Amino acid sequence: MKKSFLAASALISAIFLGSADATAADVKLYTLDCGDIHMKDLAIFAKDGEFNGRDNQAGDACFVVKHPKGTLLWDTGLPKAIKDLPEGMSVPGFHISLKKTIQDQLAEIGMSEKDIDYVSISHSHFDHAGNLNDFAGSKWIVHENEYAHMFSDAMRAQAQTFSAYDKMENAEKITFTGDHDVFGDGSVTILSMPGHTPGHTTLLVNLEKEGPVLLTGDLYHLTDSRKLRTVPTFNTNADDTLKSMDAFEAKAKELGARVVIQHEKKDTGALPKLPGYLD
Ligand SMILES: [Zn+2]
Ligand SMILES: [Zn+2]
């Protein structure tokens, strides 16, 4: 009797564990337009000269993942103050502009900042962390190495970048080093893929109808960077970048995932426009 009870409970846990790492029903992935970036000279995006003489019109996408257990904002885009500049803004090497704030776009799906339970950024560059302070009331899921980098003396000295996220020092934090399962059911996983920055990450979202979707962060900036495995000159570690590309491609192949390069307009433009979503 006892034996069959044990067998039955093993079977029950197998069923539950089995269903725990695939998809969660009712997970929705919304794509937000978090800015436009004219990369005036692509040379710095490939250390071996592959992009010399080219420029690129890039987008800058952010994402909202709505899950029955909470809502995650992935990346926060260019600083919202840029929206007030009708011509956008030129910074060395780039021209940046912004049509809508994250708050404008959350309103389009009936949400506000307060509905963002978790915020996470692929990495701390200004075009991803530009509005992080607006979400200091959310739980911040952050790779330990990125956190150490963001609050290093060197970054504190870079006032413009640092002021976009300085309030996060007091935010409620969930730190991790390897991969991080956001909702504990395998449906939304932050993958550690260092190299672009010390704690750079990508995001895997397993959707019921669409299947697995991988968001690249800045592991790749454009379709050709994936094809040619180019490493930007400003990455913190070239070897780690190549290892992360290997891990990413193995995962994409294993899962048959849809890959979305976050700065590639061809990829993000193919996703549903708000208030639409993938599920
Ligand atoms: Zn970057
Ligand atoms: Zn970027």
CA 218 to centroid of ligand 1, rounded, Å: 5
Looking at residue 40, which CATH number applies to its domain? 3.60.15.10
Return d(Cα 9, Cα 234) in angstroms, integer. 53
Q: Assess whether pLDDT exceeds 70 at residue 1.
A: no
Mean pLDDT (whole number) for 262-271? 98
For ion ligand 2, residues whose CB falls within 5 Å? 127, 218
What is the per-residue pLDDT for 23?
75
CA 195 to centroid of ligand 2, rounded, Å: 13
Please provide the average confidence, as pLDDT, over all residues in the chain: 93
Domain assignment of residue 121, yes or no: yes
35 φ/ψ sector (left φ>0, alpha ψ -120 to 50, else beta)? left
CA 14 to centroid of ligand 1, rounded, Å: 41
Q: Assess whether pLDDT exceeds 50 at residue 4.
A: no
Return d(Cα 91, Cα 111) in angstroms, integer. 32
Q: Which residue has the tokens 């609050």?
A: 151
Check if the beta carbon of residue 40 is closer than 8 Å to that of residue 55.
Answer: yes
CA 25 to centroid of ligand 1, rounded, Å: 32
Ligand nearest to the CA of 146: 1
Domain assignment of residue 186, yes or no: yes
Q: Confidence class of residue 24 from pLDDT cuts 50, 70 and 90?
A: confident
Model pLDDT for residues 219-249, shown as the tens digit of each residue: 999 999 999 999 999 999 999 999 999 999 9
Domain assignment of residue 201, yes or no: yes
Strands of 56-67's sheet, edge to edge?
A: 89-91, 94-97, 28-39, 56-67, 70-74, 118-120, 139-143, 173-176
CA 11 to centroid of ligand 2, rounded, Å: 46
Ligand nearest to the CA of 44: 1
| Number of domains into which the chain is organized | 1
CA 232 to centroid of ligand 2, rounded, Å: 11
What is the per-residue pLDDT for 218?
98
Determine which helix (DSSP H) or strand (DSSP E) holds 86, and give its type and residue range. Answer: none
Model pLDDT for residues 108-144, shown as the tens digit of each residue: 999 999 999 999 999 999 999 999 999 999 999 999 9
Mean pLDDT (whole number) for 79-105? 97
CA 231 to centroid of ligand 1, rounded, Å: 12
Q: Which long-range contacts (CB under 8 A, 24 or more apart) does 206-209 make?
A: 206/22, 206/23, 206/24, 206/27, 207/23, 207/27, 207/29, 207/278, 207/279, 208/23, 208/24, 208/25, 208/26, 208/27, 208/279, 209/278, 209/279
CA 108 to centroid of ligand 1, rounded, Å: 27
Return d(Cα 121, Cα 201) in angstroms, integer. 8
CA 107 to centroid of ligand 1, rounded, Å: 27
Q: CB neighbours (10 Å) of residue 201?
A: 29
DSSP-derived 3-state class of residue 253: helix
CA 109 to centroid of ligand 2, rounded, Å: 25
Domain that holds residue 214: 23-269
Domain assignment of residue 154, yes or no: yes
CA 75 to centroid of ligand 2, rounded, Å: 10
Q: CB neighbours (10 Å) of residue 112?
A: 9
Domain assignment of residue 103, yes or no: yes
Mean pLDDT (whole number) for 191-203? 98
What is the per-residue pLDDT for 2?
42
Domain assignment of residue 9, yes or no: no
Domain assignment of residue 5, yes or no: no
Domain assignment of residue 1, yes or no: no
How would you write 141-171 as a 3-class SS string? EEEHHHHHHHCCHHHHCCHHHHCCCHHHHHC
Q: CB neighbours (10 Å) of residue 103?
A: 13
What is the per-residue pLDDT for 17?
43
DSSP state of 259: E
Where helices occur in 47-143 by DSSP H, the ranges are 102-108, 126-129
Q: Assess whether pLDDT exceeds 90 at residue 14.
A: no
What is the per-residue pLDDT for 22?
56
CA 30 to centroid of ligand 2, rounded, Å: 19
